[in-house]
Amino acid sequence: MYDTKPLLTASDFPAIFRRPLEILQINLGYLCNLSCLHCHVNAGPKRTEMMSRETVEQVLALAAAAHIRCLDLTGGAPEMHADFHYLVRGARDCGIEVIDRCNLTILEAPGHEDLAGFLAAQGVRIVASLPCYLEDNVDKQRGKGVFKQSLSALRRLNRLGYGQSDSGLQLNLVFNPQGPLLPPDQQQLEQAYKQHLQQHYGIVFNHLYAIANMPIQRFGSILLSHGLFDSYLSLLKNSFRADNLDNLMCLNTISIDWQGHVYDCDFNQMLDMPLAAVAKPKVHIGELNPAALNGAAIATAAHCYGCTAGQGSSCGGALAPQSRNE
């Protein structure tokens, strides 16, 4: 796999600074039942990196002490972590919202038959990857049979109340482009998704998040192997919109890796870019002072243009004054 970090770190991206911390995005590990082409984590079935119970406890302690309002759980497939249920219950018992970034197929996997019911019982907000509403496109990007498994999982979630307007159980889908392109208009694409999934499969959901692919890890390596890395980076930079800077997810969020190290965002984590607020290469969650983060600089590089290009992009979809990751 090609290393894209040296091609990204020299950048003229504008300086940005932290606001009060509200969200912890936790990468529980790289184990996943899929190996998607657009994955910026390079997750897969053979990965063994997983967060320890001690670090899970430290996450819960920080969330309570810093009055965090949301735990955003990701991976890999975060649900494959042995302490996933424990972490979710711990957060919900403290009144903290939980987001599960779910690949959908895990809900149909052997040994996880009770997972969807658990998520519903805990009131977990699901953000589920469905990079297209057409079977061939999804299977091309994520693997043969993934689309049908995803539909089965969505129907299971709908039966539990997810995506229903009066249930309070949020089900949001994620679109990623098939290649080195910017996502189309999120609002128009959401309407197309809703119409197609309702008419053809009887499936409903709340919102669609259109997220740009980041030129790092697996997707960045594919760009390099096809000679498309420089042109994609130019597309991101040439599509920069300054008004997106005020709504970036990293302003009120920190990313914590499976070992407990802290980063300014999930993408910086994958590039091993240290937290800018502390003058040391690695900062562990156990030594973090959340109050010291407010107003501190955020580490940036060329990949940050992926969040500010066009309509903007975050883990909550397109950026807007009322961003959906809020």
Say what the pLDDT of residue 296 is.
95
- The secondary structure of residue 31, as a DSSP letter, is B
- Whether residue 275 lies inside any domain: the answer is yes
- Whether residue 122 lies inside any domain: the answer is yes
- The secondary structure of residue 214, as a DSSP letter, is P
**Structure tokens of 235?**
């597309």
Say what the pLDDT of residue 34 is.
73
Say what the pLDDT of residue 325 is.
43
Strand duo 171-175 + 23-27: pairing = unpaired
Length of the chain: 326
Alpha helices (H) in 99-216, listed in sequence order: 115-122, 135-142, 146-159, 186-201
Say what the pLDDT of residue 234 is.
94
Domain count, the chain: 1
Whole-number Å distance between alpha carbons of 295 and 17? 6
Domain that holds residue 290: 5-308
- Whether residue 145 lies inside any domain: the answer is yes
Under a CB-based contact definition with an 8 Å cutoff, are residues 211 and 176 in contact? yes
In the block, residue with structure tokens 């709908």: 158
- Domain CATH number, residue 13: 3.20.20
Neighbouring CB atoms inside 10 A of 114's CB total 11
Say what the pLDDT of residue 14 is.
95
Whole-number Å distance between alpha carbons of 209 and 211? 6
Under a CB-based contact definition with an 8 Å cutoff, are residues 94 and 61 in contact? no
**Half-sphere exposure (Cβ direction) of 72: Cα atoms closer than 13 Å:** 21
326 residues of the chain, pLDDT tens digit each: 556 666 777 678 999 999 999 999 999 998 988 766 555 566 777 888 999 999 999 999 999 999 999 999 998 899 999 999 999 999 999 999 999 999 999 999 999 999 999 999 999 999 998 988 888 888 777 677 889 999 999 999 999 999 998 899 999 999 988 789 999 999 999 999 999 999 999 999 999 999 998 888 778 888 999 999 999 999 999 999 999 999 999 999 999 999 999 999 999 998 899 899 887 788 999 999 998 899 999 999 999 999 999 999 888 889 864 444 44
Whole-number Å distance between alpha carbons of 326 and 14? 22
- Whether residue 135 lies inside any domain: the answer is yes
Give rounded-to-5 percent helix, strand, coil for the chain. 40, 15, 45
- The secondary structure of residue 44, as a DSSP letter, is B
- Whether residue 326 lies inside any domain: the answer is no
Whole-number Å distance between alpha carbons of 84 and 266? 19
- Whether residue 47 lies inside any domain: the answer is yes
- Whether residue 254 lies inside any domain: the answer is yes
Say what the pLDDT of residue 249 is.
95
Q: Is 296 helix (H, G, I), strand (E, B) or coil?
A: coil
- How far, CA to CA in Å, does 15 sit from each of 106, 152, 295, 301, 320? 39, 44, 12, 10, 20
List CB contacts of 219: < 8 A, sequence separation 6 or more: 37, 38, 39, 40, 213
Neighbouring CB atoms inside 10 A of 17's CB total 13
- The secondary structure of residue 62, as a DSSP letter, is H
Say what the pLDDT of residue 35 is.
64
**Whole-prediction pTM:** 0.91
Say what the pLDDT of residue 323 is.
43
- Whether residue 140 lies inside any domain: the answer is yes
Say what the pLDDT of residue 324 is.
43
